[in-house]
Structure 1
């Protein structure tokens, strides 16, 4: 190994680390006020959320807490006829109305649902909106209201929000509870929102107020309660307020707890909490950084990485459809603000792996683990089979809440969730996690899959009696396909192979052999006449569709990969070509974000950049929220609505990272999928499988440096960005032309010579 270590290397690798990041041009800056909730400045810390909007007459701060839920049960899902065998029989008998009544229609009721926490309205005398900025670097919203300057933030780790107004002559303060009662539920029918909050039928809130506070306690369904407390004090023309929300999930005395948090923050800890908040966000941005020359893509990555930092923590509920930013418009949130496990939760956590945010990603896995009793009970009651499956639509307890039956009662939902347990193990190499979480989860999912695929198809292979491909054919009877779909088959094949792999890692040879034996009894993936992945055998993708479920084997599962050779390369090319032919008429924003990931995996940087730029310029609102529909007016999609959901944001962030670093084959590749026009690009501390932390820089169209840190001490394998050869860096004598290689303990640095 060449021991030379050019002095400029540190500057190349770490110059970005000391620059201001994210740069101020990535902030949200408004010259006109946000007049609707979904264009507000988002703040959050995983448990509390806030949306800051309005023109100052009033300044609105919409409040949220991520464990505020109406968890009333669905009675149909406890009926005697609620079981898999009956579902199969009704499907065979074409009893569509009965199937819809049992499985689909309950979702159209107001509850169960995520619920909001109300709103603070502040109206300073003489307020006149002059501009506002959300600083990503310190997660603080600022507004210029003429003579009054406002600053709003939520502490990064403590359940308290803060408001500071300077230049206040007089101020009207109002804490408003959501309108939860007074309206009978209307006829249950499919919609994005199930109607007004008032249909929930809660009693009126119990308000409290005094000279320096306003508060209320709200009773929800089944004895659930929460309290919101806002305290304030004024010193001269400076007004400071602190607020908190407590629910019965914290304990019984919700009002006292919320008051104690708010007053403690206001009266004695303001400066210390501000300092610790700022330090947390400095660490967040110092952890991982990327720099790419496409302005729209770079800014969207910064906005989405900020949102992930505001929405995800290891010890809070995981990200729902809207995360900690439940709708504040008097309506129930889009699609109940629930957990959708056929795409939404999975895409929401894609960026945490290569993005080096594993502690935040654990919030999802911890929740899946801690709530598994409900899915296990459901698996036993509904399927009447051993092992573990998970409902596709779920509430805070991960209980089934229904909707389109072909997906909500899918047999493979837990298998996709298992992929996240697997990814955490591969990116962390945390042995304890492998033994205590990943292996048990994958094993139990495989036990269920072995049972549910016991029947044989005409080919003599294992099959699923009811198989679907989200969300092709919507909830029409033909959404159950005549043979197993590539969506289900890919997940099953991946799960069994991964379970065997983990068994090998743990020295469980008998288990590994068993699961490989079950895998051998499954059919191969189905191909269409062009050689691409079809929806099911003999059924190609025939029209534009928002969900690329038939391509799961390619991405994210990696069963089909160009690294496997020309055969797989042709399958990938044909599959993407069919997407081009069917077009984007019925795509959502997340479709473009997912395409960015797939194109990057296919090493097509031009296509990846175009997809991610399209997402950033056409499918987000001005605050960066993914709104599903095309806002460009250019006909990119016939969906032009604007329901906000987060999975598109986080899938887009993952797509940028996939362009810059890949490691799913066991070989680290830097800049594997960037367009030639990206002459200068860099990233600092992205994460590769094997628990390697990687930094790299590209200048004038050439890679100039790579740094790899091994957290386990194992040596990495790197595809040289200079020669294309695979370098086994465990070899102390390794050399490669034109490259200087230096190792210091568990750190390898490679730089272009000269």
Structure 2
């Protein structure tokens, strides 16, 4: 019997392992027409590639292709947008006269992270493969043709917006630079160099003659002064070193990096549409985020214009945080290494804001920041510009910074930190984020009011409150929210997290009693009656009448309660969860058209769908609604588009699916918690709270087994995957304990693998 169990485990593991590269590769995206939304200040609709720092947007027509090169660390560090924010370094034009009017075909291939394009005109066919080296600062373009053709490459750096530009030729390298410096209010200088090399061409600016049977290669190497102080020299010298042999080695490293990435986890749910967006979303986020690099802003490195919408900044009332959410449970922790740095860098300014504007301790953050302590969200610098854009001349609101009535932004930023901590229980990481968390706690300890035995939150608004042209600059009458569900949920999340992290690190234990008191006596989430049932109310009190009505669970309240808040759900409070579940059931009542379930056409697809899973809404209906939403508003490259942002939608499908297959909030692991058990599914190495990697499969209505890999040797608490049955625990191939009950727990050892199987 032991041998049979061992064989089943081997077959299960082998099936998933062998499927990993296949699943990433099978879901390539196909383009049969040139992109129509390039250049743009928002998400491009073109084929995309990247290495978590450099992004390539493959634009243009066959006769004149245009590759746009974005870079996460190239910013105009100016505190007002438009004008400030992430900037476009430049690009490469490829003029191919023989392909004017040619048929367009391109593929975005996720397993190899390449853009594969074919252009045909009559018998002529040109193939162009483009990729961004996973381990280098270089873009590679490989060109083959079945007939002789001429290509004129033109490297360019974007001009304007106060930049200083230069270009030249050094040996066989063509280069272009762009710099922002010596401008009033610029917080730090930023420089970028683009260096092009065409191995085999004698002259740097020569036309490329492609003949049948040969491959021509163009490389573009990019460095900024944030990469290294000798940014220009480094780009040119590295470009000069790129021989054909070096490029081949670089490609082998590139494939190896992506192979490891796809092996970190996998899911199979036998739904081609959802699986395609699951893997494409993972691909695009991996193209946009990487350890040791600047974090991606709203549009990631897929920048095709200066003055991107909202400056392409780090918007802290969900846009910045959301793209990372699925990476934790998908076991792509390395993609989240860059998240914390902008928040840590802004702490000094945040402390000044708290003291000067609110006379409290801790940190207070505006709605938008950038890297290296940059504030991107100042009001316009002149009353005249303020009047033109916002309907009032008062540009000294909150000393000129956009807080927009919300005091929750710093705590909102802590949500991702806690998600990663619970997922890894990494001591070094806990020590890194602890100063930030304790500063958030200090602010809230000072700001909360204890009244009639409960803690109350004043003037922390549910929605952004600000002057604009629609209200003719009249907005102060909207101030006055009391106990916003957004703030209540995130504050509870913070103090529950403070207790856990401080206990883990054995720090500030004398403050534990106060934090627990806040958790216990924080005002309850407001509810009211509508249509004969209880429903969530956005705030307890507000001068805005509609916010005092029980309008139900929605995107903003979800942020506080469920994601990233994590303080509600069936495990936490089943009675309150019933109210939230009923609210989700009534989302259909407000639909005006197919695809707007949860009111997610403007914002919220990354929030509402996984929240519906968490509260226990019907899984099949959620997937149907999500597919309708994708059909209504998405691009061929896999981006699901919405009004308020870009990168955040990349967590929508992965987070929804992961939550269906595995949940672990409140430290309780649940296997296939919200999945139709009549549909086969499997997953491998999804990450659960407690630092566990979990694998399982569901076949013919039955969970076959559960495999747990314990990274840190913590106690595992799991809801019985086989209700009413006893469970055999197998450690290192040997049967040990017999487990029973609705929920059971057992100790583990670091790096131990445990198999659970129903008896």
TM-score by length of 2: 0.82
**Structure 1 Cα separation of the partners of residues 32 and 83 of structure 2:** 39
Q: Offset of 1:541 from its aligned partner?
A: 5.4
Matched with 1:653 is: 654
Matched with 1:483 is: 482
Matched with 1:536 is: 539
Query: Which of 412, 419, 441 is the matching residue for 1:423?
Result: 419
**Structure 2 Cα separation of the partners of residues 727 and 369 of structure 1:** 45
Does residue 9 (structure 1) correspond to residue 1 (structure 2)? The answer is no
Matched with 2:105 is: 131
Cα distance change on mapping 1:671 and 1:363 into 2, 3 Å: same
Cα distance change on mapping 1:406 and 1:485 into 2, 3 Å: farther
Contact 1:685/1:695 (CA < 8 Å) preserved in 2? yes
Contact 2:406/2:462 (CA < 8 Å) preserved in 1? no
Aligned pairs for 1:57-96 within 5 A: 57-73=63-79
Aligned pairs for 1:349-498 within 5 A: 349-402=324-377, 407-408=403-404, 410-434=406-430, 436-453=431-448, 455=449, 459=452, 461-471=454-464, 476-477=475-476, 479-498=478-497
Contact 2:696/2:705 (CA < 8 Å) preserved in 1? yes
Partner SS state of residue 620, structure 1: coil
Aligned pairs for 1:148-297 within 5 A: 148-167=126-145, 169-180=149-160, 200-203=161-164, 205-209=165-169, 212-222=172-182, 223-234=189-200, 237=211, 238-266=215-243, 269-297=246-274
Contact 2:405/2:461 (CA < 8 Å) preserved in 1? no
**Structure 2 Cα separation of the partners of residues 472 and 704 of structure 1:** 52
Does residue 120 (structure 1) correspond to residue 119 (structure 2)? The answer is no
**Structure 2 Cα separation of the partners of residues 373 and 551 of structure 1:** 26
Matched with 1:687 is: 687
Cα distance change on mapping 1:395 and 1:503 into 2, 3 Å: closer
Q: Offset of 1:697 from its aligned partner?
A: 1.1
Matched with 1:96 is: none
**Structure 2 Cα separation of the partners of residues 49 and 496 of structure 1:** 38
Q: Offset of 1:115 from its aligned partner?
A: 0.6
Contact 2:581/2:616 (CA < 8 Å) preserved in 1? no
Partner SS state of residue 136, structure 2: coil
Q: Offset of 1:218 from its aligned partner?
A: 1.6
Contact 1:391/1:413 (CA < 8 Å) preserved in 2? yes
Q: Offset of 1:299 from its aligned partner?
A: 0.4
**Structure 1 Cα separation of the partners of residues 563 and 528 of structure 2:** 18
Residues 141-169 of structure 1: CA deviation (Å, up to 9, x unaligned): 11112332111100112111111111353
Does residue 556 (structure 1) correspond to residue 564 (structure 2)? The answer is yes
Cα distance change on mapping 1:576 and 1:593 into 2, 3 Å: same
Cα distance change on mapping 1:440 and 1:252 into 2, 3 Å: closer
Cα distance change on mapping 1:479 and 1:214 into 2, 3 Å: farther
Moved more, 369-378 or 290-299: 369-378
Contact 1:387/1:448 (CA < 8 Å) preserved in 2? yes
Query: Which of 299, 306, 317 is the matching residue for 1:322?
Result: 299
Residues 80-126 of structure 1: CA deviation (Å, up to 9, x unaligned): xxxxxxxxxxxxxxxxxxxxxxxxxxx5x423221111121112352
Q: Offset of 1:286 from its aligned partner?
A: 1.1
Contact 1:593/1:612 (CA < 8 Å) preserved in 2? no
Query: Which of 28, 39, 48 is the matching residue for 2:54?
Result: 48
Contact 2:606/2:648 (CA < 8 Å) preserved in 1? no
Contact 2:134/2:257 (CA < 8 Å) preserved in 1? yes
Does residue 347 (structure 1) correspond to residue 322 (structure 2)? The answer is yes
TM-score by length of 1: 0.83
Partner SS state of residue 460, structure 2: coil
Q: Offset of 1:700 from its aligned partner?
A: 2.2
**Structure 2 Cα separation of the partners of residues 327 and 609 of structure 1:** 33
**Structure 2 Cα separation of the partners of residues 150 and 2 of structure 1:** 54
**Structure 2 Cα separation of the partners of residues 392 and 2 of structure 1:** 58
**Structure 2 Cα separation of the partners of residues 49 and 380 of structure 1:** 39
Partner SS state of residue 40, structure 1: coil
Q: CA RMSD in A?
A: 3.1
Contact 1:46/1:310 (CA < 8 Å) preserved in 2? yes
Partner SS state of residue 417, structure 2: helix
**Structure 1 Cα separation of the partners of residues 459 and 82 of structure 2:** 29
Query: Which of 556, 579, 598 is the matching residue for 2:611?
Result: 598
Residues 390-424 of structure 1: CA deviation (Å, up to 9, x unaligned): 32211223433336978546221111211222121
Moved more, 423-432 or 168-177: 168-177
Q: Offset of 1:542 from its aligned partner?
A: 6.7
Matched with 1:612 is: 626
Gaps of 5+ in 2: 39-43, 183-188, 202-209, 380-389, 391-400, 469-474, 542-546
Cα distance change on mapping 1:607 and 1:347 into 2, 3 Å: farther
**Structure 2 Cα separation of the partners of residues 275 and 281 of structure 1:** 10
**Structure 1 Cα separation of the partners of residues 496 and 551 of structure 2:** 31
Does residue 622 (structure 1) correspond to residue 636 (structure 2)? The answer is yes
Instruction: Work out the number of aligned pairs and report it.
Output: 676
Matched with 2:18 is: 18
Contact 2:322/2:606 (CA < 8 Å) preserved in 1? no
**Structure 2 Cα separation of the partners of residues 162 and 541 of structure 1:** 56
**Structure 1 Cα separation of the partners of residues 446 and 115 of structure 2:** 53
Does residue 504 (structure 1) correspond to residue 483 (structure 2)? The answer is no
Contact 2:527/2:535 (CA < 8 Å) preserved in 1? yes
Contact 1:411/1:452 (CA < 8 Å) preserved in 2? no
Residues 649-707 of structure 1: CA deviation (Å, up to 9, x unaligned): 22332111111110113221121112355x21111110011111011111223222221
Q: Offset of 1:132 from its aligned partner?
A: 1.4
Cα distance change on mapping 1:256 and 1:408 into 2, 3 Å: farther
Contact 1:214/1:231 (CA < 8 Å) preserved in 2? yes
Gaps of 5+ in 1: 74-106, 181-199, 630-642
Contact 1:544/1:582 (CA < 8 Å) preserved in 2? no
**Structure 1 Cα separation of the partners of residues 500 and 727 of structure 2:** 24
**Structure 2 Cα separation of the partners of residues 481 and 573 of structure 1:** 29
Partner SS state of residue 362, structure 2: coil
